[in-house]
Amino acid sequence: MTTYSDRDAIGLLVSRFFRSLDQRHERPLDAEWVRAFATDDDVRSETPVGSTEGAGPLLRHTTEALDRFARTQHLTSDLLIDVEPGAATATASWNALMTHVHLDSTLGDRGPDADPLFTVGALYRAELLRTPAGWRFRRVGIDVLWTRGLPPVLPVASGQAKSAAA
């Protein structure tokens, strides 16, 4: 039987979370996915393309953001965790390099010289809660530090389009 320290368990949660995003074509995101990574109704996320509160909105927002791309690859490093032994809460931060491969439709709209990649360097911040099922994200925020390439064009309610740095 393998036992994990709190830091190990939180590190595994971060790694499994990002791997699940990149493997969503093999295992689609659903309510079970949210329960594996986030607290229930009080989970909050803040991303460059919007904020959410609650498990359902988090699932919809994440799915919509990822569906704008054919594939993604998320690399994380420098995970820093602050947790006291036996504590119910923890904080963590890490660097992320996120590479997004544009959909063929996006590339077709942009023309033959379009860059197929949109890359983002970011700092993630998270608050975590110890639950009966293990550590889960309660708050996640992304601070974009730099981008390369063009983000997808997003529709907005007024009929205008805006670019998103996801």
Interatomic CA distance for residues 140 and 121, integer angstroms: 16
How confident is the model at residue 156, as a pLDDT? 57
CATH code of the domain in which 151 resides: 3.10.450.50
Interatomic CA distance for residues 29 and 18, integer angstroms: 12
The confidence band for 164, taking pLDDT boundaries of 50, 70 and 90, is low
In a domain, 119, yes or no: yes
Strand ranges (E), the chain = 44-47, 50-53, 69-82, 89-102, 117-131, 134-148, 153-155, 161-163
Domain that holds residue 151: 6-163
Interatomic CA distance for residues 165 and 120, integer angstroms: 8
User: Residues 58, 33: contact at Cβ < 8 Å?
Assistant: no
In a domain, 1, yes or no: no
User: pTM, whole model, 2 decimals?
Assistant: 0.87
How confident is the model at residue 158, as a pLDDT? 41
Interatomic CA distance for residues 74 and 59, integer angstroms: 18
In a domain, 67, yes or no: yes
In sequence order, which residues have a C-beta less than 8 Å from that of residue 35 and are 6 or more positions away?
55, 133
Q: DSSP secondary-structure letter at 4?
A: -
Closest CA to 99 of 22, 15, 14: 22
Q: Which tens digits make up the pLDDT trace of 105-144?
A: 999 999 999 999 999 999 999 999 999 999 999 999 999 9
In a domain, 159, yes or no: yes
Q: Which tens digits make up the pLDDT trace of 45-96?
A: 999 888 999 999 999 999 999 999 999 999 999 999 999 988 999 999 999 9
The confidence band for 41, taking pLDDT boundaries of 50, 70 and 90, is confident
The total of structural domains in the chain comes to 1
The confidence band for 162, taking pLDDT boundaries of 50, 70 and 90, is very low
User: Residues 161, 66: contact at Cβ < 8 Å?
Assistant: no
In a domain, 142, yes or no: yes
Average pLDDT over residues 10-27: 96
How confident is the model at residue 3, as a pLDDT? 58
In a domain, 97, yes or no: yes
